[in-house]
Chain A
Amino acid sequence: MSIKRKIFITCKTATLLTCKKQDNALSFKEEIQLKIHLLICTICSLFSKQSNLIDEQLKRMNAENYETNVLQLNEPTKIELQNKINSELEK
């Protein structure tokens, strides 16, 4: 039983290890455990594939600065802020 437990991990653990693997944060033992689990579990394999896909897409989006130019500060707030800065500068 204890050897079995050393080799076979649960789907919950396998998906956690998948996240760690993407960061190269697995120990040798975990690496083996995950490999074996993914060989026999198609659902976790699917998760692993999709998780990688999401990571790649997030990286691509970051490179394109996707967060910019959605919101704009409204004019009165801008003027108010600039006045605050100006008065701070005169101190």
Chain B
Amino acid sequence: MLNPKNWITLYADYLLNFAYFRVRNRELAEDLIQETFISALKSQHTYNGTANEKTWLTAILKNKIIDYYRSSLNKQTKITDSIDNNTNNDFFNSETSFHWFEKKQPQDWNNTERNIESAEFNAALVNCIQKMPVKLAAVFSLKYMDDEATETICKEVGISSSNYWVMIHRAKLQLRECLEKNWFKV
């Protein structure tokens, strides 16, 4: 049984955090949860009771987030290219057959005494994810937060699998570097 009279009290904060973490903009997150509640009301008849109310609402929100990702990925196709061609942002030197630029090389993390399972590390990780460019963050959060299969993600947001791997690659390089700068180097 759905009980819309309790939705806000029970789920608004949960859904707000779910959305905020994925779109990184509070105003947008609030809009998305409002749309979610309205869509949910309109499609109450499709609720068949197999999922609980929270899961059902979260699924509706997730579809809204994917719509947002799809439109932001398609809107700025040229920006993807510039992400990859931006030499300031590049990790590999095209003039030395794509070896690492010296200052971009990963450093050994073993000689720090910092604990990767600590709350502080998680906070640094979250912080670095929040700093990712929107397009990379879209693909990254579908893969890592929602644990979706590559094929599903490509279909949902309308990109090719090679484009997908270029973005995951770029996101991972940036995330690793950000962690090293913010966490491991004291």
Q: Are B30 and A12 in contact (CB under 8 A)?
A: no
Q: Tell me if B21 counts as interface (CB < 8 A to partner A).
A: yes
Q: How far is the CB of B96 from chain A (nearest CB, A)?
A: 9
> A68 vs B15: C-alpha distance in the bound complex, in angstroms?
9
Chain B interface mostly: helix
Having A50-B109, A50-B176, A73-B33, one finds 7 other A-B pairs with CB under 8 Å, namely A16-B165, A54-B175, A55-B144, A68-B14, A78-B9, A81-B37, A82-B9
Asked whether A71 and B16 contact (CB < 8 A) given A19-B168, A54-B125, the answer is yes
B interface residues, Cβ below 8 angstroms from A: 4-5, 7-9, 12-14, 16-18, 20-21, 26, 29-30, 33-34, 37-38, 41, 91-92, 97-100, 105-109, 116-117, 121-122, 125-126, 144-145, 147, 150, 165-166, 168-169, 172-173, 175-176, 179
> A20 vs B4: C-alpha distance in the bound complex, in angstroms?
43
- Look across to chain A and name the residue whose beta carbon is closest to the beta carbon of B146: A62
- Residue of A10, A77, A84, A85 near B98 (CB, 8 A) is A10
Q: Are A85 and B176 in contact (CB under 8 A)?
A: no
A interface residues, Cβ below 8 angstroms from B: 10-13, 15-16, 19-20, 23, 25, 43, 46-47, 50-51, 53-55, 57-58, 60-62, 66-73, 77-78, 81-82, 84-86, 88-89
Asked whether A73 and B12 contact (CB < 8 A) given A10-B97, A11-B100, A60-B117, the answer is yes
> A44 vs B33: C-alpha distance in the bound complex, in angstroms?
42
- Residue of A50, A57, A88 near B41 (CB, 8 A) is A88
> A16 vs B98: C-alpha distance in the bound complex, in angstroms?
12
Q: Are B145 and A67 in contact (CB under 8 A)?
A: yes
Q: Which residues of B contact A68 (CB under 8 A)?
A: 14, 17-18
Q: Are B100 and A43 in contact (CB under 8 A)?
A: yes
- 4 shortest interchain CB distances as A-B pairs: A10-B98, A12-B98, A67-B21, A12-B92
Q: How far is the CB of A4 from chain B (nearest CB, A)?
A: 12
Q: Are B8 and A81 in contact (CB under 8 A)?
A: yes
24 examples of A-B residue contacts, CB within 8 angstroms: A11-B98, A19-B165, A20-B165, A25-B150, A51-B172, A54-B179, A55-B144, A58-B125, A61-B122, A62-B144, A67-B18, A67-B21, A67-B145, A68-B14, A69-B17, A71-B13, A71-B17, A72-B13, A73-B8, A73-B33, A78-B9, A84-B34, A85-B8, A89-B41
